[in-house]
Structure formats: structure tokens, C-alpha cells
Amino acid sequence: MATYKVDKSPNEESINETRDVLKTKGAEGAHQKEPIPHRNQTPREMVMTHRNAWIVLGGDRMGSIKSGEAGMGSTQSAAMDLVVGMGQNEDGQPPDNDEYIDPNPFRDASRVYLTQKGDIDTYFGIAKGVFGDFMSTEKKSGAVMKADHVRLVAREGIKLVTGKGKNSEGTGEKNSLGQEAAKVPPIEFIAGNYTDQVSNPPILQPLAKGDNLVEYLLDLQSWLQKFMAMVQANTLNIAMAHSTLGGLTAPVPPLSAIHVTTAAVAIKRQTTFISEQQNLISLQMNYLRPIGETYINSNHVYTT
């Protein structure tokens, strides 16, 4: 009787690889079996990928192949998309191996996106700020970094700057469309990605300048000290008047007692005034002077 033997050599490499993966379970940087989706790639895109990490050089899009400037066939709309964990945010797990997906800023785990011409506020669902259309990103170049957590770390300082660069040629810098850029573009901090345009006062408000605030509070405190001094002097006059009246009305004990008591209360208030004036001086030293332990201005963060 003839004996038939199955030739396993074509699959031997794959079988051995699977055995190695099962042994290590991905520890110490070894290979690991996990679902990795496919990207819907357009002819315009060059994709470099390993596992679920991607670098895509192509045209502007943050959705289906019909989305973005590239989807509309726009020229001058190159883009670079660095993303890890495509599709992972749906349920905390990446899609199956056989699933083809598009870039999605709400489903992908972490991303850095650069576009020559796009609309990053719309792509990433960013709330409008105080300046509305003036800050529109439509058909403008843009750069976005998005993840569960983002940290910017500098060993020697960070500058968050808007406006034209101080170039040596002295020419006016223009935006990506060749248009004049705003002289002093704003900076907007939007916690929670929510800006209610109808609230009064509005949710999104301007920052206070520390030195200006300190100057105002010092002036206010100086006025308050003068006001307290006037009240103190007036109270002292009242005490003296009632003390005198107490002596003049001595033949009428009930009336004299009222004046004496009122004078005593007024004199007691003098002590309170002195204490409150000392408190004002302490508040000034602690909060409004750079040497104070609770100085209201930061020594490390500055704004225009």
C-alpha cells in the first residue's frame, strides 16, 4: 500500500513564527499576534506601516477617500499623517485584520497631522472661539497633535507664539494662501471644547494681565486705606463727642449713661480699625508684592 506524506515545508516558517510568538507572548519587544486593520489607501498616498503604526504621505483628508481637499481634487493640498492605533477608540480594541478603514480623528488612538491646505477645526470637531470666522481654518495650512494625553516638555523654555516671524529680511510674512497674516492673532484656551456664544458673561473670556491687576489692586487698597482712615477719624470724633455729652448730662443719669456707653463702643472700634489696617498691609505684602509667599503673579509664566 502506498504511503502519502504531506509536505509542510511551505508553511514551516509561518508555523515556527507562530510557535515563537506563543512562547514569548510579545514580551521584551518580541512579535505578538494581534488584530491589525488595513487602511483604505488612495493612489496619491505613500504608506509606511508596521503593526498598527502608520506614516502616510499624500493629500489632505481626515475621513473617506472623498473627504478633505484631496477628496475634492484640490491642488497644493499635501498632507502628512502620523498615527498609531487606527480604529482603536471604537471599543478599546483595533478592528479585525480583514477590515479596511479610513483615517478618523475620533476613532484613532494617537495622531500628528500636517496639512498644506485643509480645515483642521472641522476635521477634529474643535469649538469656535471668540473671534469666529477670523480664526477659521478653512483652506488653510494646519498642524494638529491629538491623543488621550499630550505633553510638551522643554529643558530651557516654551514659547507659545502667534503672528509673523521676526525675519531678518524685514519683509511681511504671509499665510499659506499668500495673504497678509493678522498682526496680532489671538490665543484661545478652550477647556472641554465648549464655547457657548450666548452666555452672559461669556464662557470664553480674556485673561487678566498680572502686572496691570496688581497695579489696580494696589490703587484700590490705597483708596480703601484712606477710606478706613476717614471712618476711623470720624469714629474717634463721635467717641469724643459722646464722652463730652456724657459729662454734660451727668445730672440726668439715664441720658449720661447712653452717651458714655456710645463713647465706649466707638473707642473699642478704634482697635478694630487698627487691626484691619494691619491686615490690609499684610495682604498687600503677601499677595501684591513679589517677595510675598502668595504673590498673585507667576514667576515662570508670562502673557501679552
Would you state the pLDDT for residue 254? 79
Tens of pLDDT, residue by residue over 266-304, are 777 777 878 888 888 888 899 999 999 999 898 888 888
Tens of pLDDT, residue by residue over 134-155, are 788 999 999 999 999 999 999 9
Tens of pLDDT, residue by residue over 26-70, are 677 777 778 888 999 999 999 999 989 999 999 999 999 999 999
Q: Is pLDDT above 60 for 2?
A: no
CB 36 within 8 A of CB 96: no
Higher-confidence residue of 171 and 63: namely 63
Tens of pLDDT, residue by residue over 208-263, are 899 999 999 999 999 988 888 888 778 777 777 777 877 777 777 777 777 778 87
Longest dimension (CA), the chain: 147
Would you state the pLDDT for residue 5? 47
Run of H or E including 115: strand 110-118
Q: Is pLDDT above 80 for 197?
A: no
Lowest mean pLDDT among 16-25, 185-194, 245-254, 265-274: 16-25
- The cell for 133 is 470666522
DSSP 8-class letter at 281? H
Would you state the pLDDT for residue 13? 64
DSSP 60-91: --SSSTTSHHHHTT-SS-EEEEEEESTTGGGT
Model confidence at 4, in pLDDT bands (50, 70, 90)? very low
Say how many C-beta atoms besides its own lie within 10 A of residue 142's C-beta.
Answer: 19
Among 59, 38, 62, 34, CA closest to 49: 38
Q: Is pLDDT above 60 for 131?
A: yes
Model confidence at 15, in pLDDT bands (50, 70, 90)? low
Q: What is the residue-averaged pLDDT of the chain?
A: 84
Q: What angle do CA 203, 187, 207 make, to 5 degrees?
A: 55
Among 135, 288, 132, CA closest to 218: 288
Q: Is pLDDT above 50 for 183?
A: yes
Tens of pLDDT, residue by residue over 90-127, are 777 767 888 899 999 999 999 999 999 999 999 999 98
